[in-house]
């Protein structure tokens, strides 16, 4: 299937790709994907579709009925859409969550590009060594993808969560994908959490905390100058977690690298062509910078 633009855009033949989330209006995905479609001359448009949890299955069915090309799926739907897929990729089965949908002759295909996107970003930003120690905070869909990425990097991973069973499931994912060592620490285990944070080179926040100005548990907010704070949140560009780390001299990275990495893999699945990653990164960076500017009264 081709999506080449032959006339002015958009037209009655323009096909749709969407983002499903609740909320969804904050996402930079429309800017980066539409920039990529334009530079590649594709007759596609990417739209954000805010979808309440109770409506997600109906919305997915409706998208299939109107022949949408594909979709990204973000919080809180990444695990909910799994049951609606006709086919799951090995990656989606491994992570246990779906962030990319693609309608094909075989039906609705569910994939997960988060682990590959994060692994590429971590390698580019940090060049981690095998056996390096990480703290992974979170037990949701983003944390599951992060556990796979850290396992593939052969990291020693401490998973931090509120519930033992959920944290153990995430730690098991890291172990199954190659982690050198795993450990589980609960958020209310203050001394153990402080020790784990102190021993790690990098602390990864794989929760939405920070999007609304929230802080992480206190030991994760007290990194040293030789440590790294890696926040999968990208808006705001400086969360309380990153601000606290940088104030102490630690390095801090937000989630834009992961966003672009996972978006590029999704793009390739939908279009069958290499993603213009530089264009996508530039578009996302410009959109995020514009969003951080103070609003005029």
* pLDDT for the residue 130: 96
279 and 168: one domain?
Answer: no
Percent of the chain with pLDDT over 90: 90
**Average pLDDT of the chain, as a whole number:** 94
Examine the pLDDT at 6 and tell me if it is beyond 70: no
281 and 162 inside one domain: no
| Cis peptide preceding 260, ω within 30 of 0 | no
Q: How many domains does the chain have?
A: 2
In a shared domain, residues 106 and 227:
no
List the strands of the sheet with 87-88, edge to edge.
Answer: 44-50, 15-21, 70-73, 100-104, 107-111, 87-88
Q: What share of the chain in percent tops pLDDT 70?
A: 96
Least confident of 89-93, 130-134, 292-296: 292-296
Band (pLDDT 50/70/90 cuts) for residue 3 is: low
Instruction: Indicate whether 2 belongs to any domain.
Output: no
Q: Work out the average pLDDT over 212-219.
A: 97
Domain containing 82: what range?
A: 15-112+260-292
Q: Supply φ then ψ for residue 88, to 5 degrees.
A: -115, 135
Q: How many other C-beta atoms are found inside a 10 Å radius of the C-beta of residue 180?
A: 17
User: Of 286, 270, 266, 277, whose CA–CA distance to 42 is shortest?
Assistant: 270
Q: What local confidence, expressed as pLDDT, does residue 297 receive?
A: 53
187 and 63 in one domain?
no
CA distances from 89 to 3, 112, 120, 170, 264 (A): 24, 8, 19, 19, 17
Do 248 and 137 fall into the same domain? yes
Domain identity same for 276 and 237: no
Alpha-carbon gap, residue 202 to 224, rounded angstroms:
10
Question: For residue 7, is it within any domain?
Answer: no
pLDDT band at 44 (very low <50, low <70, confident <90, very high): very high
Q: Check which CATH number belongs to the domain holding 176 and give it.
A: 3.40.50.720
Q: Which residue among 33, 78, 201, 281 is the active-site one?
A: 78
What is the H or E stretch that residue 264 is in? helix 256-271
Q: Would you say residue 271 has pLDDT above 70? A: yes
Q: Is residue 282 part of a domain?
A: yes
CATH number at residue 80: 3.40.50.10860
- Residue 43: the pLDDT is 94
Is 8 domain-assigned?
Answer: no
Tens digits of per-residue pLDDT, 124-137? 999 999 999 999 99
What are the pLDDT digits (tens) for 7-42? 577 888 999 999 999 999 889 999 999 999 999 999
Does residue 38 belong to any structural domain of this protein? yes
Residue 137, Ramachandran bin (φ over 0: left; ψ between -120 and 50: alpha; else beta): beta
For the stretch 226-242, pLDDT in tens is 999 999 999 999 999 99
- Known active-site residue 245: no
Q: Is residue 1 part of a domain?
A: no
pLDDT at 51: 97
């Amino acid at each position: 299937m081709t999506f080449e633009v032959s006339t002015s855009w958009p037209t009655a033949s323009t096909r749709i790709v969407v983002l499903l989330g609740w909320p969804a209006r904050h996402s930079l995905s429309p800017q980066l994907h539409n920039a990529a479609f334009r530079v590649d001359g594709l007759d596609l448009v990417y739209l954000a579709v805010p979808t309440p949890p109770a409506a997600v299955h109906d919305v997915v069915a409706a998208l299939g009925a109107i022949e949408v090309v594909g979709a990204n799926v973000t919080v809180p739907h990444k695990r909910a859409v799994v049951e609606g897929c006709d086919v799951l990729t090995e990656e989606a089965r491994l992570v246990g969550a779906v962030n990319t949908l693609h309608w094909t002759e075989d039906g609705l295909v569910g994939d997960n590009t988060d682990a590959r996107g994060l692994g590429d970003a971590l390698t580019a930003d940090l060049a981690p060594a095998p056996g390096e120690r990480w703290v992974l905070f979170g037990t949701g869909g983003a944390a599951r993808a992060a556990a796979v990425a850290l396992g593939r990097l052969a990291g020693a991973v401490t998973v931090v969560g509120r519930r033992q069973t959920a944290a153990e499931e995430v730690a098991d994912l890291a172990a199954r994908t190659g982690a050198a060592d795993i450990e589980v620490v609960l958020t209310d285990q203050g001394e153990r959490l402080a020790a784990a944070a102190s021993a790690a080179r990098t602390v990864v926040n794989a929760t939405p905390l920070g999007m609304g100005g929230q802080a992480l548990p206190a030991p994760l907010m007290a990194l040293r100058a030789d440590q790294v704070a890696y926040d999968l949140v990208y808006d705001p560009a400086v969360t309380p977690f990153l601000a606290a780390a940088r104030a102490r001299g630690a390095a801090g990275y937000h989630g834009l690298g992961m966003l672009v990495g996972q978006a590029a893999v999704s793009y390739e699945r939908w279009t069958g062509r290499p993603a213009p990653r530089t264009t996508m990164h530039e578009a996302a960076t410009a959109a995020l910078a514009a969003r951080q500017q103070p609003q005029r009264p």
